[in-house]
Amino acid sequence: MALLMRNQENEEKGVEQGIEEGIGQNISYEPADIMIHVQGRGIVLKEKSLIAYQKKDNKIVASGTEAERMAEQGMEDIVIVSPLRQGMVADYIVAVGLFSHMFMKALGKRQILKPAVAVCVPKGITSVEKQAIKEVLVQSVASEVLVSDIPAEEFIREFPAKFPKAYRKFKIIVGIMKDEPERYVEERLRDMMSYAGQEQIPRERVYALLQKNEQNVLPRV
């Protein structure tokens, strides 16, 4: 047991040492919505994918709602970032720290054995992006990871009946969601306008391209 606890401490120190390399500046990505569901207990955590660390030593001090509160207070010695962008891993090292911190909040500070975890990711992400989130969870909190692009609420509801064998094994479900999808649309639009500016494409031309393609990309309401 002592050896396992020392290994956990070494992992935590490694994450803190890696923060300096993993975060060079405050990342302005829109945070994802993280949910942790435990069999027999239900949803034990649902918070933003935000993490707060101290500038002076890169030590993680908060995650989720606590980090969001710190961001609102504008604390000069604290940096708030989201290592997930549109539900995908944007910063591997910081994402490891995020999930380690969130699991400690949800399940308790010391987990001697890493659990098997099922994770629900947003639809449309690539196999490479799915592998990235899988590796993050294995590095931080999980012994084994099952990745699904079924929406988390639907997965939780149908998992026991459709996959009874897996249900007995994967007792923790993590949902990486977009509860406010318009935020992600705004972020994509900002990226597009920034790229247009770099390529010296006038704003009026961008608007014209959007209108030209509106019928192809937007559903009728």
Q: 104 Cβ partners below 8 Å, 6+ apart?
A: none
Spatial separation of the C-alpha atoms in residues 97 and 11, rounded to whole Å: 10
The pLDDT-based confidence of 220 (bands split at 50, 70, 90) is: low
pLDDT of residue 192: 72
Higher pLDDT, 216 or 30: 30
Give the largest Cα separation in the chain, rounded: 64
Instruction: Measure the N-to-C terminal CA separation of the chain; round to a whole number of Å.
Output: 59
Taking residues 147-171, report their average pLDDT.
93
Contact 147, 130 (CB under 8 A): yes
pLDDT digits (tens, 9 = 90+) for 117-130: 999 998 888 999 99
Q: At what angle do helices 2-22 and 92-107 cross, to 10 degrees?
A: 140
pTM of the model: 0.71
pLDDT digits (tens, 9 = 90+) for 66-92: 998 888 888 888 999 999 987 889 999
Tell me which residue has tokens 């975060």: 23
Mind listing the domains of the chain with CATH numbers? 2-179 (3.30.420.40), 181-221 (no CATH)
Contact 6, 77 (CB under 8 A): no
pLDDT digits (tens, 9 = 90+) for 191-212: 677 778 888 888 888 778 777 7
What average pLDDT does the chain have? 81
206 residue type, one letter: V
Residue 152 in this model has a pLDDT that exceeds 90: yes
Q: How many CA atoms lie within 13 A of 173 on its CB side?
A: 27
